[in-house]
Every structure is written in structure tokens, then in C-alpha cells.
Amino acid sequence: MRKISLRTALVCAFVIVCSAGATWLEYQFDVTIRQPSVDINDLGKSLAGWDSKSVDLDPETARFVGAGSYVSRVYFREGKTPVSVYAAVWADRSIVSDISPHPPTMCYPNAGWTLVNQKEVILDDSLPVVLLEFSRAGERIVTAHWYQLGDLQYTDRASGRLGLSTLWGKKEWPPMVKVLIQTQAASIEDAEGRLTTIASEVNAFTKAIH
């Protein structure tokens, strides 16, 4: 009987501690999200000599992504392989629990692509960008992506979480931005030049979103 009482007391204590911890976390992240200072749809339709046309997402994909606003375009230039640019902005509390939504390292394999190679580069002295090479049924593509939360720019959940200390204690957070760029290419080396050129231009615009 005494053992049962002790066990019950320990379980109750554990539940109380967990509840207190959950309440503390909820309090710590009881934040509001600023609305974007810049409309993502104002991203230049011409970047570094590349012109573009808009490509609509189908309604189901847009609903699944859940971003408040986004832009989806294909940039093209004579003699060059086209480059697709997708940039989205989340300005709601969903970013508190997920600061790296729909990472390419998960979404592409889920769509049947195999990750072949990857490389991280630093653009504009501070922007980390991950290049991923995928293959599927004889086709190869290379993507470039990063996330942004205010002044924090990162490429995955782990690096994003490390940088979150800059926002601890603040009751207002900036909106989150995700940029994904894609092109057909035989390898990362083949795609890197055009992807990083477009990425630098996109970053010059999106880094103003706070």
C-alpha cells in the first residue's frame, strides 16, 4: 500500500512538473507576429537580366503550404536553363512551433526524388544557402533554399533553433520567410552559378521583410 501511495505521489508530482513546464513554455512564446513590412509579391519581375512569368500554385498545394502570402515565378534568360523561384511569408503563430516549414530535404524525397549531393554556400557575406541535388527517373534538379526570421537567416530547424535566443523574451516576432529556388541541372556545379545569382537578387529584396 505504501509503495502504491509513493508511486501515485511520484506520478502526480511528474504531472504537475510537466504541466508547469508546458505553462511556462506557453508563456515564454505568447507572442504576436508582425505583419510583413514588404509585400512578397513586389519581388522584382526582372532579376540580374532574367525576366519572369508567374506560375500559380494549385489551390490544394497552396492550402497545404499555409503561407499568408507567396510568389511563384519562373525566371528565364536566352541561352540559360530556366530557374523557378518560390518565396513565401508566414505572419501567424504557426512559426512559433515550426520555424522551418516544408524543408526540401523532406518534401522532395516524399515526392519520389532521391537526394544525391548537397553543398552549403555563403552569399553576400552572411546568407547561408543549401544547394541540394536530386534525381528521379533519369531527371536531375538542383535546389537552393533558406529561411529568414527577422535578422536571423538559416537553412534548417537545428540552426534556426540555435538562433532563436535573439528573440527570447520578446512579445513580438517578425514574420518568417522561406525561399526555394530550383533548376534542372546535371550537377550542383552546373547549377550553382545561376542559382546563386538569382538567390543574391532575391535576398536583396526579402531581407527587408521584418
Same domain flag for 90 and 15: no
Q: Does residue 45 share a domain with residue 6?
A: no
Mean pLDDT calculated for residue range 175-185:
97
Residues 39 and 130 in one domain: yes
Domain count, the chain: 2
Q: Does one domain contain both 4 and 71?
A: no
Which residue matches cell numbers 537526394?
A: 115
- pLDDT tens string 113-171: 999 999 999 999 999 999 999 999 999 999 999 999 999 999 999 999 888 888 888 88
Query: What are the CA-CA distances from residue 193 to residues 81, 91, 143, 179 (Å)?
Result: 11, 32, 12, 17
Q: Within this chain, do residues 75 and 161 fall inside the same structural domain, yes or no?
A: yes
Task: Say yes or no to pLDDT of 25 above 50.
Answer: no
Residues 158 and 194 in one domain: yes
Question: Quick one: 104 and 159 in the same domain?
Answer: yes
Helices (H), strands (E): how many in the chain?
A: 6, 10
**Looking at the predicted structure, is the pLDDT value of residue 49 above 50?**
yes
**Surface-to-core class of residue 31, CB atoms within 10 Å of its CB (0-12 exposed, 13-18 middle, 19+ buried):** middle
Tell whether 107 and 201 lie within a shared domain: yes
Answer whether residue 2 shows pLDDT above 90. no
pLDDT at residue 24 is higher than 80: no
Helix (H, G, I), strand (E, B) or coil at 150: coil
Same domain (yes/no): 13, 116: no
| Alpha carbons 53 and 84: distance in angstroms, whole number | 10
**Together in a domain, 146 and 57:** yes
Specify whether 7 is located in the same domain as 86: no
Say whether pLDDT at 19 is over 70: no
Long-range contacts of 119-127, Cβ-Cβ distance < 8 Å, separation of 24 or more: 119/188, 119/192, 120/155, 121/192, 121/196, 123/196, 123/199, 123/200, 123/203, 124/200, 124/203, 124/204, 126/153, 127/153, 127/199, 127/200, 127/203
pLDDT digits (tens, 9 = 90+) for 55-92: 988 777 777 678 889 999 999 999 999 999 999 999 99
Same domain, 13 and 53: no
Residues 6+ apart with CB under 8 A from 147: 99, 100, 153, 154, 155, 160, 176, 177, 178, 179
Q: DSSP string of 83-105?
A: EEEEEEEE-STHHHH-SS-S-HH
Range of the domain at 129: 31-206
Amino acid of residue 147? Y
At residue 157, φ and ψ (nearest 5 deg) are: -65, -40
Question: pLDDT per residue over 198-210, tens digit each?
Answer: 999 999 999 999 8
